[in-house]
Structure 1
């Protein structure tokens, strides 16, 4: 009886442990593992065993944690004293899941619901890596002298955006390159924004293009093509200022991720939180535009040069 009382309080109760082979997996890859339930000092009734995949995202409003998947494994069972139960675990990561970055992380939350006792939990972190073709693009950007920024991989109402800064060839010409991707049958669609330094101003040059599999599988060709798109933007930034196709209805309602957009899964999961992010950015843009117009008008009338007439 005393042991049962202690077990109901968590002392000497059954424990749970999710085990899988690796910590890093590519988007779309299957995770194979097992959940080990170790019996305690007394027999206990198990109501349910389930695993949740949780996504942790840093937004302007703060850090949020959202459930990506719920995976039930067992219900209505018993665990005897010192008995060990091993339950197979399988889960395929979605192909459009955001990849892990400084603002995005993941963990599995394993929950063992014990009748009349303290529920047992186990937390296991994992890293979601880009699929091969996307990683090839990142590698090519690296060979061109670009490095990912600390806040690269941010989530917004369209999906996941990756940001790079130059360290070599385009240093002094480009301040930042932002990229989005969507997987398609024929390859990967790319939306690239190049922030070009043009005198005292910056011009946002926007390029949309598709990289087919033959290019993605050829390192030298991929590097050449990406470098050419960036160089063209630097040479003539003003001819690439049209909005991206996915931005067409940005201010007429909240857009959703395009089919296949990398990170698009997060759009549905985060929902209203991303709406708030968009509205905050829209208000900030309005104030910035008004400030620029005021500054230009001030300069037109001579401003204040600090001299007395």
Structure 2
């Protein structure tokens, strides 16, 4: 009885260790590995063995404070229920599909500052503390994301940081309850843009790219009314990249000569598509 009480509290209970065969992957790919269980001092009932992805999500609360917490997504059941005998071992292979909206942590062989994704193994133990194991994993940029990020780099915008924010973006195929935002600093070629923020929302049929340039407002004073304006202008452009075409739409109150700010139009024949490619070799992110 005493051993059962200790196992229920997580002392002397079942242990789990996960080995990943794919430390690096792209959104839409598969993470494969093996889960090894070792029984504790008493027999325990395992309700389910599952794997899930986790990332750090920033959430703003009603009091105005922002807090960061781990957010699970893309959970996959591996096996269960079954009884794990005391001191016994068991192994289970798994292949977990990576959601297309998973935040990327690597681009062009470099770790993106602030980006972190891990695979967590969860063993649901009836009447006891669940056993878990967490392994960091590298998520490489998709081909379409590579093209966009390379273009931003060539325009002279330096990457400052990345974060993942809770919420949804209108007019995108978003399915997860959060999105990744990549923040870039000033470019010498665009002195009026103080900061550029880019968000990708990938889906099977294509990918939405949201551009958010933050710039100082430049307004003229009307002689008749004496009115003017100050502060910053933050429009946002939604680019949809898919097989065969790309469309743009712009929201915000910024004055612009770009027709995209007043209507949606065809922007060419880009054939970028967010499907995974083989041979991606970025390493896993350091530490979780």
- Return the TM-score normalized by structure 1: 0.57
Cα separation, partners in 2 of 1:156 and 1:135, compared to 1, 3 Å = farther
Per-residue CA deviation, residues 27-49 of structure 1 (Å, 9 max, x unaligned), is 11110011110123344333332
CA contact (8 A) 2:162 2:180 kept: no
Q: Which residue of 1 aligns with 2:58?
A: 58
- Residue 102 of structure 2 is aligned with which of 78, 97, 102? 97
Aligned: 1:131 with 2:142: yes
Superposition pairs of residues 236-251 of structure 1, within 5 angstroms: 238-240=256-258, 243=261
Q: Which residue of 2 aligns with 1:76?
A: 81
Cα separation, partners in 2 of 1:103 and 1:157, compared to 1, 3 Å = farther
Instruction: Provide the aligned length of Structure 1 versus Structure 2.
Output: 228
Moved more, 70-79 or 183-192: 183-192
Could you say what secondary structure the match of 2:150 adopts? Answer: helix
Q: Which residue of 2 aligns with 1:169?
A: 189
Per-residue CA deviation, residues 155-179 of structure 1 (Å, 9 max, x unaligned), is 5421544332234433x34222233
Shift of 1:84: 1.9
Superposition pairs of residues 1-309 of structure 1, within 5 angstroms: 6-61=6-61, 62-100=67-105, 105-150=116-161, 154=165, 156-158=167-169, 159-170=179-190, 172-181=191-200, 183=202, 190-196=209-215, 238-240=256-258, 243=261
* Alignment root-mean-square deviation, CA: 4.1
Cα separation, partners in 2 of 1:77 and 1:176, compared to 1, 3 Å = same
1-structure distance, mates of 2:139, 2:163 = 15
- Return the TM-score normalized by structure 2: 0.60
Q: Which has the higher helix share?
A: 1
Cα separation, partners in 2 of 1:184 and 1:244, compared to 1, 3 Å = farther
Structure 2 runs not aligned, ≥5 long:
62-66, 106-111, 170-178, 220-229, 246-253, 265-272, 275-288
Structure 1 runs not aligned, ≥5 long:
216-235, 247-259, 262-309
Q: Which has the higher strand share?
A: 2
